Structure formats: structure tokens, C-alpha cells
Amino acid sequence: MKNSGAHYVTACAVGCGAGLRDSGITLPEGPLRRCVECGQLLSSATEAQYLRSLGRFDNTAGTLPDATSQSRHDKNTARRLGKLAAALGRAPETIRLLDVGCSSGAFLRTACRLGYRAEGVEPSADAAQTARAAGLKVFTGYLEQAQFADATFDAITLIEIVEHLRDALGLMRECARILKPGGVVLVTTPNARSWTARAMGARWAGFSLNAMGGHISFFNPHSIAMLAARSGLAVHHIETRNVRFFERGQCSRGLHAAAKIAAELLNWPARLAGAGHDLHAYLRRPL
């Protein structure tokens, strides 16, 4: 892939005024640049490359899990929602929840089934329509376009969204505005400072613009905390989970099996070191 245009991302997505330096990690779109203040890694993709890559989930299926990953999806979603409810100290039935970038509604389906009063926003018209056809309440468009009133929601979820944005700070400030005082935002994103990312370098699947449908901004626990602070949110809890060297289908079955065993052994130490592959941040709007 040849990069012949200007960078789509020109400044740190976390809102730092500091400069960007070459990270030494070179992707097909060009080198990842590192914010000297928060360590965020930023893509060198052009706007055209970025927009092309976004097409991956812009369809009626969206991010619905396939049959083999449905039970894992349900289990992971239930665990995250349980932590949200615990952070709020409330029963699901009393929690008004907004899933931002809900795609075709996989997360919302589980949330509604568990009793949450959940709705979503989604810019892909096809994916949003799939969600509505399943009986879910979904606004088609970007969060700012939905124009929710101040202090509308008890909880907001951003599941694998912020890594797709060049202005994550703008989105988080809007989330903070529509969140009730005491409300909680859950942000999940790949951890660019994970052992997995460090071991794999440019081959880390999380860095792949096209395979991941537009990943351009790569967080670490520190940059997420800075994003929270600049949005007026307090860190309730940040955790990292899992070591994963290959995504399914990325390598031979034998290698995948061996990498999986190695990853299992490293899961707990990675979690203790804040170096797991998946970064989950629970952020609270102060009372």
C-alpha cells in the first residue's frame, strides 16, 4: 500500500498539544507516530485509506458474532455489564444505557436480555437497520447528531470504538455531557502497550487498518486515563485482560494452537502487569 497523501490523523487523538515522533513500528500505510506526552500511537494512513478500511463493518451484518463465537460474546458482554452495574450499585432494570457505535446490535441484544434499558447510536444505516429489525432502539448517525439532553444516561458503552477516531476527546466530552452525575462510561480498546503488541510489533493484528476496519489510534492505560481526565471523568477502574498472539485464521492451525497455550500461561501475569491485550476502562462522571 503506497501512501501518497497527507496524514488523516495530524494530532494526538487524546488532545495532547505535544508533538508526534516516529515509533519505529512501520505499517503498510507508513510509520506509527507516538505522542511524546501520552504515548498514544497514531496511524499514518491518508483519509482515503481510512475511509476505504471503514467499509468492512458498513453492512447489514455489522459486528454480529458468528455461530462459533456467540457464547463467548454473550459471556464477555455479561461480565462487562455486571461490572458496570456493580460500579453504579444498581440493578440492571434501573440503568438507562447507551451503546455508542452499536453496529447491528450484538451488545444491545445481550444488554436488553439481561434487563438493562439499553439503546444505541450507529452511523452505518444498514447495520442500524438490522438492529432495529431485531426490536432494538437505535439512532442512525453519529453521537453528536442524536442531540441527547444533558445528564440522560446512567451508563454509556464504547466497545472497540475509540481506536477508530482521530478525535477521541471530542467523543468522550460528549459522553460526559450526556452522562448523569455519578454515571459510568465503559471504554474497551486494544492495549497498544500489551505484551502481545510489543512482541508482535508491526504484525500485531490490532494495528491492522484494513483487517480491523479502520484502526488508526492506539491507546495504552496511561493515555486512556489522560483522555478521561480531559473529559472531566474520573478513573473508577482500568484493567487489561488476555494475551493473544494471533487472531483466528491469521496463521496455521498448529501454530494457532501452540500460541494459544503460551497465551493461557501468560494471561494472569499480563493482567497483573497491566499488559493484557484488551484494555477496559470504567470511567465515572463525578457527582
Which span sits near Zn ion by CB under 5 A: 11-19, 20-28, 239-247, 266-274?
11-19
Nearer to Zn ion, 203 or 222 (CB): 222
Nearer to Zn ion, 37 or 58 (CB): 37
CB atoms under 10 Å from CB of 55, counted, come to: 12
Smallest gap from residue 45 Cβ to Zn ion (A): 18
Number of H helices, E strands in the chain: 9, 11
Per CB under 5 A, 37 contacts Zn ion: yes
Which span sits near Zn ion by CB under 5 A: 33-41, 58-66, 172-180, 198-206?
33-41
Query: Is the Cβ–Cβ distance between 56 and 214 less than 8 Å?
Result: yes
Smallest gap from residue 204 Cβ to Zn ion (A): 20
Per CB under 5 A, 168 contacts Zn ion: no
Residue of 16, 81, 84, 233 interacting with Zn ion (CB under 5 A): 16
- For Zn ion (CB under 5 A), the number of binding residues is 7
Q: Pick the closest to residue 268 from 286, 287, 243 (CA basis).
A: 243
Smallest gap from residue 223 Cβ to Zn ion (A): 6
Sign of the CA dihedral running 150, 152, 154, 155: negative
Residue of 7, 8, 9, 12 interacting with Zn ion (CB under 5 A): 12
Query: Is the Cβ–Cβ distance between 193 and 220 less than 8 Å?
Result: yes
Residue of 7, 23, 40, 187 interacting with Zn ion (CB under 5 A): 40
Per CB under 5 A, 38 contacts Zn ion: yes
- In the 3-class helix/strand/coil scheme, how is 25-81 assigned residue by residue? EEECCEEEEEECCCCCEECCCEHHHHHHHHHHHCCCCCCCCCHHHHHHHHHHHHHHH
Residue of 8, 9, 14, 266 interacting with Zn ion (CB under 5 A): 14
Q: Pick the closest to residue 144 from 180, 183, 173, 103 (CA basis).
A: 173
Footprint of Zn ion (CB under 5 A):
12, 14, 16, 35, 37-38, 40
